[in-house]
Structure 1
Amino acid sequence: MGNVSRNALYPATFTREEVITKGATVSLVAGQFTPIGEYTVKADEIVGLGRGALVAQNEAIGRFYAAFYDNAGTPVAITQGKFRIMLLSSQDMPIGSKPVYLDVDLAALTTGASIPADRFVLPFDDTLLSQDRKFQFLIKVPTATTLSKANSTVLLDVTRALL
C-alpha cells in the first residue's frame, strides 16, 4: 500500500449495487450465514467502513441503513436475523484481528430511512483494506427466503482514498 495522507480520505456510500452482488435474487438458507455479496477493493484505492476520523467529514460518524425485502408479489421486509460483514484476503481467507467486522440484528438497520441521524452508527477503527482485499456481506435468517436486490435498499457509509 502506498503512502496516503489523512487529507486524501473522503466519504462515500455503498448502495445495494456494492452490497448485493450475488444476483438479482439470493436464496437465504435458514439458520446459516449466506453471502449476499462482496466488494473487492480496486487497485490504487483503500476503503474502510464507517467514516474516517476527519474533522470535516460529517463529524466522522458513519451510518448504516438497510431494508432487505423478499421477492414476493407484495414484498415483505426481512427483519428477523443477522447481518454480518467479514474482512477477507484476495484468497477469500478471513484477515485481521477482527475478521467479523460487524454482526448486527437486521431490525437494527431499518431505522432512519429518511433521517440519517437515526441510522445505525457504524464504528470506524482505522481498518482500511487495500487492493484485492474484500468486504463480504452475509445474512442469516431463521426461515428460508429469497432476497430481492431490486426491492432492497442499502446505504452504508464508507471512507475511501485513492493512492
Structure 2
Amino acid sequence: MKILNWYYKRPILIDYILSAFILGFMFLLNDLLDLNIINANTANDISLDIGAIGLTVSGFILTLVTILITFKSGEILSDNRLDNDSNPFKIFLSSPLYKKSINILKYGVLSLVIISISIFIIKLFSGNIYFKYTLSANIIGIVIISSTFIRCFYVLNIILKMQEFNPENE
C-alpha cells in the first residue's frame, strides 16, 4: 500500500518516467537481439489507433469526473450533515480525498489528450520524421494510456466500493 501512496502523490510524472524506462529497455533489447518487429508503415498505422484509443479513454474519464461532480452537487443541494451513520461514499464526497480523486482524473485526461495530439502530429509529419521517433511515440503512448486507464479504474473501483458499503449490514 505504501507503493500506491507514493505513486498517487505524482502519478503523471511517474507514468512518464516509467514510459522512458520501458522505451529505453525496448531499444536496448532491440540493439542486443537485433529485433526488427515493426516496420515504418506499421508504426505509422498504429499511431492512428493509439491516438484514437487515448482520446476514447479520456472521454471515459471525463464521464467519470462528470458523474462525481454531479454526486457532489447533489450532496451540497441536499445539505445533509455527516454523522456516525453516514455511508463511506458520503464521507468521501465531504473529504479532501474527493478533491484528490478529481485531480487524479483531471490530470489523467490532460495527459491523455496531450499524448494523443502529439501522436497525431507525429503521424501528420511521419514522412519527414525518423522511424524511431514514431515508434517511440507509440510506445510512450501505449504506456501512458495503459497506466492512466488502470489508475483511473482503480480510483473508480474504490469509489464504487464506498457506494456499496451499507453500515446497517455490518
Which one has a bigger Cα radius of gyration? 2
Whether TM exceeds 0.5 here: the answer is: no
What TM-score results when the alignment is normalised by the length of structure 2? 0.24
Higher helix share: 2
Taking CA–CA contacts closer than 8 Å with sequence separation of 6 or more, which of the two structures ends up with the larger relative contact order?
Answer: 1
Higher strand share: 1
What TM-score results when the alignment is normalised by the length of structure 1? 0.25
